[in-house]
Amino acid sequence: MIVVTGASKGLGRAICTRLMSNGYSVLGLARGECISDFPTLKCDVSSPDDIKSVVASLKSSGVQVKALINVAGIASMNLALTTPTKTAIGIINTNLLGTIFCCQAFAPLIIRSGGGSIINFSTIAVALGLKGESIYAASKAGVEGFTRSFAREMADFSIRANCIAPGPINTDLLKGVSSKQIDAIVSDQIIPTQFEPTHVCDIVDLLLDDRSLSISGQVIHVGGV
């Protein structure tokens, strides 16, 4: 089974759908209600209790977990000086701590199944230092640093950990972002194209496959920087 967080919409939902079409057994985790063609459980990744409940359920059912994909994340496009404290805390708790909590909880299940792959999600905003995304970028920079070190910690257990850092992808996350802002970001990419969720799914496919057995501790930028 592959566990995917943030499965209710956007990249998380697209990844779950792709995995199902590829024949994988999938469990989607979502903070709110998720109506889908794949099995889901309610889970707020910023809540260790929620995560422990999911893990306990998987253990009791005897399911083998081969991979974890941490897509769940929130963003607030705002200058640091005008970002409310509550918003900043929410971003860090979900994006950074949520990723850490899930890795801590699900990695032992992957170890028991003989190893596998963990894929975390960052953003091109880290590499480009985008204006108005400082707190969001800070949370994702933490994810990148964590992933690099965590990959070394997991290597002895045959678990690869990598990070995908997309540029502007055509999902609900871009609602409220002007086309001018999107064009400015895309123009800074090596490949100046706004990519679709399917392109991210292609990278996920590779990182789950044995073709990527030599890849770990890497940050892959969609579009290039």
Task: Give how many domains the chain has, as a whole number.
Answer: 1
> What is the per-residue pLDDT for 187?
92
Domain that holds residue 19: 2-222
d(CA 20, CA 16): 6
Split the chain (225 residues) into runs of 10 and give each run's mean pLDDT. 96 96 96 85 97 96 96 92 96 98 98 97 94 95 98 98 94 74 90 94 97 97 94
> What is the per-residue pLDDT for 30?
96
Whether the model pTM is above 0.85: yes
> What is the per-residue pLDDT for 34?
76
Of 101, 106, 121, 136, catalytic = 136
Which backbone phi and psi does 79 adopt, to 5 degrees?
A: -65, 145
CATH number at residue 76: 3.40.50.720
Following DSSP, what letter does each residue of 60-77 receive, concatenated?
Answer: HHTPPP-EEEE-------
> What is the per-residue pLDDT for 176?
65
Is 136 part of the annotated catalytic residue set?
Answer: yes
- Closest by CA to 71, choosing from 40, 102, 109, 48, is 102
